[in-house]
Chains A and B, each alone.
Chain A
Amino acid sequence: EADIYQTPRYLVIGTGKKITLECSQTMGHDKMYWYQQDPGMELHLIHYSYGVNSTEKGDLSSESTVSRIRTEHFPLTLESARPSHTSQYLCASSPGGNTIYFGEGSWLTVV
């Protein structure tokens, strides 16, 4: 079992609100990732980080932003949520190579 945690697991929020999805891992992994997954669809990488103070955009364009101030913490923020942001957001971490551990996901619904 991987020690990677996401909160909240489920969130319903109104349009225009600011939200932050939290992701923490206790494995000391340098690499962390955020994926977006619509129901029944494939995962798309939206952000990743190689370590503290490193953030990169993934293949799928996203209006969200991320920060990496501490190794164990990789929060994702939406400044002004819109219905099109409704999706599942999966956080993951890796010790390197191709090994990757996923969190259980955060389901976001914007109404």
Chain B
Amino acid sequence: GENVEQHPSTLSVQEGDSAVIKCTYSDSASNYFPWYKQELGKGPQLIIDIRSNVGEKKDQRIAVTLNKTAKHFSLHITETQPEDSAVYFCAASPTFGNEKLTFGTGTRLTIIP
């Protein structure tokens, strides 16, 4: 089955700086890669996703890049703000549907004011 590794497990960034979280996956059949943000006491929320036919996707201060050859994808947050502090999860899925979503172990991002 799919195995998703996520690094780093914790990340502290000065406010205004950029943060990068990286994930690798093992199943070459995976073609959907979402990122979720989980704030304290809440469920995960989708913040951005990318499909295998695209190398990069951007939404305001958030971007995701995908390297299918190397089987890794990354989340980039620019101009970080205190409200970006949360746990971020990457995931990978080989199908169009959520039953085969495999999650990474999460990155706790802390923005230092």
Interface residues of A (CB under 8 A from B): 31, 33, 40-45, 48, 56, 58-59, 90, 92, 94, 96-100, 102-105
Contact = CB atoms under 8 A, between A and B. Distances in A.
A100 B105 contact: no
Interface of B: 1, 4, 32, 34, 41-46, 49, 89, 93, 96-99, 101, 103-106, 108
Given A42-B89, A105-B42, A59 B1 contact: yes
Contacts of B44: 43, 90, 102
Contacts of A41: 105-106
- Judged by DSSP, the binding face of A is strand
Nearest to B101: A45
A44 B46 CA distance: 16
A31 B42 contact: no
B98 A43 contact: no
Given A42-B106, A48-B99, A98-B96, A104 B34 contact: no
24 contacts: A40-B105, A40-B106, A40-B108, A42-B103, A42-B104, A42-B105, A48-B98, A48-B99, A58-B99, A59-B1, A92-B98, A94-B97, A96-B97, A97-B96, A98-B49, A98-B93, A98-B98, A99-B46, A100-B46, A102-B43, A104-B42, A104-B43, A105-B42, A105-B43
A39 to B, nearest CB: 10
Contacts of A102: 43-45
B99 A43 contact: no
Most buried by B among A40, A43, A97, A104: A43
Nearest to A10: B41
Contacts of A96: 97
Most buried by A among B32, B103, B105: B103
